[in-house]
């Protein structure tokens, strides 16, 4: 029996007997699946178009909380992928954790302000709040740390868009939202609730966006990193399709079980639209 890091694959994890033609919802990570630094990965735009033409819904699921929604939609349109209404972000997932009318101190980027406002909550940059949402932003400094931790120590709930320690760029790894969150959590002596992949709030957001008909037989999560995308598939209760165009190079064993392990999104589209594995 094959065993990955102590995890034993079950029949539910395997893809060999699955009827992929039943898939109606294709959940796609962006970085390393659709694009790299917003440059299209070969064949990805065409693969998305083919899956949509076959009647499938393609939803992009990203832990990018910084960018405004329109910015992400326009960047996808620029590589030939219409995406209006089809992007789910960790900022939106975090906003799911606050109630309309609540005051939310934003320790993050414009995408968090946007998502909080869309939720009907009031985003603020300082002062007392019902919740603090921490996300990646480049102008984080000691003063932002002081303001965010003071709000938590005064009773605000500590929420985070994601806990990715680093973020890949063409210049190498840079500190991610998780690094900022660690500082705020330490200064606040609080345990955060994390919204993005692979956690439950993002799963709730995706199920909400897909609506009725979403289940383990009708959905697949496509990603390049098992520790976020693979675990997120587990949170959703659907199979994981690993592609080798991102952080998991060809020939490197994934940390967990993938129902499909294919070269790229084009190969995933071949399986789904052909209904075979
Ligand atoms: Mg990725």
Alpha carbon distance 247, 225 (integer Å): 6
Clarify whether 217 is annotated catalytic.
Answer: no
Concatenated DSSP letters for 131-191? EEEE---TT--HHHHHHHHHHHHTT-EEEES---SEEEETTEEEE-HHHHHHHHHHHHT-P
Alpha carbon distance 97, 260 (integer Å): 32
Apex 29 CA angle, 26 and 35, nearest 5: 115
**What's the pLDDT tens digit per position in 141-152?**
999 999 999 999
Which position has the higher pLDDT, 17 or 25?
25
CB proximity list for 234: less than 8 A, separation 6 or greater: 198, 240
CB 32 within 8 A of CB 64: no
| CA 155–ligand 1 middle distance (angstroms) | 34
Over residues 241-252, the mean pLDDT reads 93
Task: Report, at the CATH architecture level, how domain 20-63+198-274 is classified.
Answer: 3-Layer(aba) Sandwich (3.40)
Using DSSP's 3-state secondary structure scheme, residue 113 falls into helix
Instruction: Look at residue 9 in the predicted model and tell me its pLDDT.
Output: 40
Over residues 156-168, the mean pLDDT reads 93
| Token digits of residue 268 | 């995933």
| CA 169–ligand 1 middle distance (angstroms) | 12
| CA 220–ligand 1 middle distance (angstroms) | 15
| CA 117–ligand 1 middle distance (angstroms) | 27
**Span(s) in the chain for CATH 3.40.50.1000:** 20-63+198-274, 92-194
Give the CATH fold of the 92-194 domain.
Answer: Rossmann fold (3.40.50)
Per the residue annotation, which of 31, 164, 224, 229 is the catalytic one? 31
Burial class (CB in 10 A: 0-12, 13-18, 19+), 260: buried
Clarify whether 270 is annotated catalytic.
Answer: no
Over residues 21-39, the mean pLDDT reads 95
Instruction: Look at residue 2 in the predicted model and tell me its pLDDT.
Output: 30
Q: pTM of the predicted model, to two decimals?
A: 0.91
């Amino acid at each position: 029996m094959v065993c990955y890091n102590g995890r034993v694959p079950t029949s539910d994890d395997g893809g060999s007997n699955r009827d992929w033609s039943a898939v109606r919802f294709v959940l796609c990570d962006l970085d390393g699946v659709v694009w790299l630094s917003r440059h299209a990965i070969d064949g990805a735009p065409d693969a998305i178009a083919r899956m949509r033409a076959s009647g499938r819904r393609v939803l992009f699921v990203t832990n990018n909380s910084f960018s405004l929604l329109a910015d992400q939609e326009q960047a996808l349109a620029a590589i030939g992928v219409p995406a209006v209404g089809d992007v789910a972000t960790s900022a939106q997932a975090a906003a799911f954790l606050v109630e309309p009318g609540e005051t939310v101190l934003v320790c993050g980027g414009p995408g968090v302000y946007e998502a909080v406002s869309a939720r009907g909550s009031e985003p603020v940059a300082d002062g007392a709040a019902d919740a603090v949402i921490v996300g990646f932003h480049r102008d984080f400094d000691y003063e932002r740390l002081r303001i965010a931790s003071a709000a938590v120590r005064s009773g605000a709930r500590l929420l985070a868009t994601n806990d990715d320690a680093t973020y890949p760029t063409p210049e190498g790894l840079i500190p991610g939202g998780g690094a900022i969150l660690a500082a705020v959590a330490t200064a606040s002596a609080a345990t955060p609730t994390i919204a993005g992949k692979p956690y439950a709030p993002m799963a709730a957001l995706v199920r909400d966006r897909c609506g009725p008909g979403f289940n383990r037989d009708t959905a697949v999560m496509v990603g390049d990193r098992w520790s976020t995308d693979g675990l997120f598939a587990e949170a959703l209760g659907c199979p994981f399709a690993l592609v080798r165009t991102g952080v998991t190079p060809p020939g490197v064993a994934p940390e967990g079980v993938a129902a499909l392990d294919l070269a790229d999104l084009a190969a995933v589209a071949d399986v789904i639209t052909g209904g075979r594995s």
